[in-house]
Amino acid sequence: MPELLGYARVSTTAQDPAPQVDALTEAGCSKIFTDRASGARAARPQLSELLSVASAGDTLVVWRLDRLGRSLPHLIELVTELEERGVGFRSLTEAIDTSTPGGKLVFHLFGALADFERSLIRERTLAGLESARKRGRVGGRPVALTAAKRTAAQKLLGEGHSVAEVAEILGVGRSTLYRSMQRLSY
């Protein structure tokens, strides 16, 4: 028999999940799973347990959307996973119910907006990197062993100094010196 499974989450131990639990009980949830964890944390044991017991025909119910997902893309991922398993999703505050055509439409619009946002961020990032390259700025970590230091390293090593001594003199790690010398086929 299909069940309404409630999920409540508060961010800190000082917060009280009672208002969420009351709303979920009033909505008819037969079982309520409650986590006390920041929304940013991936580890939420009660949510994991709820997801493991939810079966086709059941509906996961939350008080508000932000109680379930860490971000909009994460929320969409979770609801998509539920949908693939035949589990419905309902948010009481936002009045979203993926078991109805209207609820599915609203949720897919959220998904489309999240995808659009990711695309915009990617475009802005790529444009910023291209602009920086045109101005002569190259991303990444600065080179620790410049051409002058490489030349000095070759000279010191040729004079019989150990790799450890040369690395200390030049202020770089031995592994940096080894990698640089390998590139030069030294």
Task: Cite the active site residues.
Answer: 11
What is the C-alpha to C-alpha distance for residues 141 and 165, in angstroms, rounded to an integer? 24
What is the C-alpha to C-alpha distance for residues 10 and 16, in angstroms, rounded to an integer? 7
What is the C-alpha to C-alpha distance for residues 45 and 34, in angstroms, rounded to an integer? 9
Do the strands 96-97 and 4-10 form a parallel or antiparallel pair, or are they unpaired? unpaired
- Dihedral sign, Cα of residue 101, residue 107, residue 110, residue 116: negative
What is the C-alpha to C-alpha distance for residues 186 and 20, in angstroms, rounded to an integer? 67
Tokens 């202020």 found at: 171
Show Cβ contacts of residue 89 under 8 Å, excluding neighbours closer than 6 positions.
59, 60, 61, 62, 79, 82, 83, 96, 97, 98, 107
